[in-house]
Amino acid sequence: YYCDLAIPNQEVEYIFRNIISSWINESFRHDRLDVLLNSLINGDIELFEELFSQFVLETISFYDVNTKNEEAVYHAFLLSILVSLDDYEVISNRETGLGRVDIILLHKKDKNRLAIIMELKRINKFREKTKEEALTNALKQIEEKKYEIEVKKRGYNNILKMAVVFDGKRVWVKK
């Protein structure tokens, strides 16, 4: 299926534009946001991890992520940042391959640009004892569920598969 990520109505648009945007802008200056997004689309995962971790520490409340819906909070938070990428299509929770991918980023005009597949995971203390196990499991899920099928079908071959793992307000990223 093909669909665009869109704000569903005027009330939500107002909230997004006036509250969430100001929240992000106050917490994270535009130049740092630009560096964060450029590090991501250029595949500099180490810099992306460092800046995204700072962003989370400065912006999200411990109470936001200390819930059963912790993964959904991070997913929505990351999407609210990624919508700033005007040249990219942001795909969220789409069925592809053998499952449902968390996030895919595709350049709208240049299929030679890096396409990004992101799998978000919170550390599950019963399954993974370390962040490395959680990162490995997230990358393994991308492979096993064949999330790249949607990306390749659209003609992208330069694909970055990355895991974003979190535990409370701590974030790790691996490709």
Tens of pLDDT, residue by residue over 67-120, are: 566 677 778 888 888 988 999 999 998 888 899 999 999 999 999 999 999 999
What is the predicted pLDDT for the residue at 122?
A: 86
Given a cut of 90, is residue 3 above it in pLDDT? no
For the segment 47-58, the average pLDDT, to the nearest whole number, is 91
Q: Is residue 4 part of a domain?
A: no
Given a cut of 80, is residue 5 above it in pLDDT? no
Assign 140 a pLDDT band (cuts: 50, 70, 90): very high
Q: Does residue 126 contact residue 109 with C-beta atoms inside 8 Å? A: no
Provide the whole-model pTM.
0.80
Q: Is residue 87 part of a domain?
A: yes
Full residue range of the structural domain in which residue 163 is found: 10-174
| pLDDT tens, position by position, 99-114 | 999 999 999 999 999 9
Assign 52 a pLDDT band (cuts: 50, 70, 90): very high
Q: Is residue 3 part of a domain?
A: no
- Mean of the per-residue pLDDT values for the chain? 83
Domains identified in the chain, total number: 1
Q: Is residue 40 part of a domain?
A: yes
Q: At what angle do helices 45-59 and 30-41 cross, to 10 degrees?
A: 140
Assign 1 a pLDDT band (cuts: 50, 70, 90): very low
What is the predicted pLDDT for the residue at 167?
A: 84
Q: Is residue 5 part of a domain?
A: no
d(CA 16, CA 9): 11
Given a cut of 70, is residue 153 above it in pLDDT? yes
Q: Is residue 145 part of a domain?
A: yes
Q: Is residue 116 part of a domain?
A: yes
Q: Is residue 96 part of a domain?
A: yes
